[in-house]
Amino acid sequence: MIDLTAEERNIAGGSRGEAAAMAMRIVGRMAEALAAPKLIKITSAHIDGCLYHGDGGVEFAERLVEGGGKVAVPATLNVGALDLLNPKRVRAGAHRAEMAYRQMAAYRRLGCQPTWTCAPYQAGHRPALGEHVAWGESSAVAFANSVLGAKTNRCGDFLDICCALVGRAPCTGLHVDSNRVATVLVKTDELPARLKDADVFFPALGSWLGAAVGAAIAAIDGLPARTTEDQLKALGAAAASTGEVALFHAIGVTPEAPDLATAFGGGEPSHTIHLTPEILRGARDVLSTTSDESISAVALGSPHFSLAEFSRLDRLITDGQLRFTIPFYVCTGRGVLEELRRRDKLAPLEEAGVAIIVDTCVVVTPILPDGGGVLMTNSGKFAHYTPSNTGYEVVYGSLEDCVGSAVTGRLVRDETLWG
């Protein structure tokens, strides 16, 4: 049996209202199922349960509202199933649209911040090193643990909001320091330095990592010290899609891995994997499901595009004075969109044919043109989920490849890095 404090028992008994009582009971039962000895206080939450998957999710959120529920810690919201700023972009029937809106509205009434992004760290939600949090959404979890050094498990839908309502999470898994040490060493010294500097490398590395290690914690040795947050974001998102990776270490790059000894807690790796160019080329190739060179659309922004990524896209467009001949979608958060507007950066993007999607993304809600085709992306996560979620085949490439392909409507891909 889990050992609840007197305060936690009081909450479960109704001291903070019906919704908090139900939430505490759910968190407690989940802790028992996970064999957690106790609950741990959290400082924030990121909520994935606001995405509509069926009417049950709406009813659950609205029941929490009816029970007087309010979050006990700051809580940001992941994507919903609607682009609330451009609702006509979503092809949803009346019932789906109504229920998706009700679900998003219910979470706002619970006191959550309407960030509507899978990258809350780009919207100012950045827990400090060592903070215990309760985050949902697999790529956000990987980023929080790996890049920020916060401590969270992969909170499933509805458990995330329960944790937020009571300010507690089961004290198990990655909340426990001894569970955060690496067990697998990945050596990258055989890979060309030019490849490891390129953005296109990191989703391929992440996709391979998730498939290779599953839920194990890997320490990656040999990444450049200048590896960016966006590159780590892409790595973690892909690894969390093809496996259960919620934490990885990059030696000399991420905060809990200044060196190998620290990453492994003074121990030795259970095994070592030496990455070769051939292995990474194979991982890159798996991200594409077709050899068709006719491209129907391009989609970027999973996780959501950052300002730095928009800056790179803007330079490619304006330097070449480009115009796209096929649909070109970029998914991002409202905060990034507002900053683009403030900097007068929207016009050249829109003139080139970029459709900026907020509040949601093109793989979780029907935005892509009806009828299927081939989608090109630079996102390992999009590449993994596109065929099953949208019916489109997928081709993976760099940002430059995606831009070039959108101009011609045919596959343009630079192979020199992978030779």
> What's the pLDDT at 418?
86
What are the structure tokens assigned to 5, written together?
Answer: 């404090």
Q: Would the pLDDT of 304 be above 90?
A: yes
**pLDDT at residue 1 above 80?**
no
Arithmetic mean of pLDDT over the chain: 96
Residues 271 and 236: their CA atoms lie apart, in Å, by 21
pLDDT of residue 216: 96
- Report the CATH superfamily, name and number, of domain 297-412: Aconitase, domain 3 (3.30.499.10)
| pLDDT at 2 (0 to 100) | 87
Res 72 pLDDT > 80: yes
Percent of the chain at pLDDT > 70 equals 100
pTM comes to 0.96
Structure tokens, 60: 């659950």
Per-residue pLDDT tens digits for 280-294: 999 999 999 999 999
For residue 84, what pLDDT is reported? 95
Confidence of residue 417 (pLDDT cuts 50, 70, 90): confident
HEC sequence for 15-78: CCCHHHHHHHHHHHHHHHHCCCCCEEECCCEEECCCCCCCHHHHHHHHHHHHCCCCCCCCEEEC
Residue 107 has pLDDT above 90, yes or no: yes
Instruction: Tell me phi and psi for residue 259, to 5 degrees.
Output: -155, 170
Interval 359-385: pLDDT, tens: 999 999 999 999 999 999 999 999 999
**Which sequence spans correspond to the domains of the chain?**
6-176, 181-286, 297-412
| Strand pairing report for 39-41 and 168-170 | antiparallel
Instruction: Please compute the mean of the pLDDT values over residues 52-60 and round it to a whole number.
Output: 96
Fold of 6-176: Aconitase; domain 3 (3.30.499)
CA separation for the pair 398, 378 (Å, rounded): 5
Of the CA atoms within 13 Å of residue 383, those in its CB half-sphere come to 30
Question: Locate tokens 């935005």: which residue?
Answer: 367
Q: Identify the band that residue 320 occupies on the pLDDT scale cut at 50, 70 and 90.
A: confident
pLDDT tens for each residue of 121-168:
999 999 999 999 999 999 999 999 999 999 999 999 999 999 999 999
What pLDDT band is residue 419 in, cutting at 50, 70 and 90?
Answer: confident
6-176 against 297-412: fold identical: yes
Report the share of the chain in percent with pLDDT over 90.
97
pLDDT average, residue stretch 231-258:
98
How far is C-alpha 297 from the geometric centre of its chain's CA atoms? 22
Strand runs (DSSP E) across 199-245, as ranges?
218-221
Predicted confidence band of residue 279 (pLDDT cuts 50, 70, 90)? very high
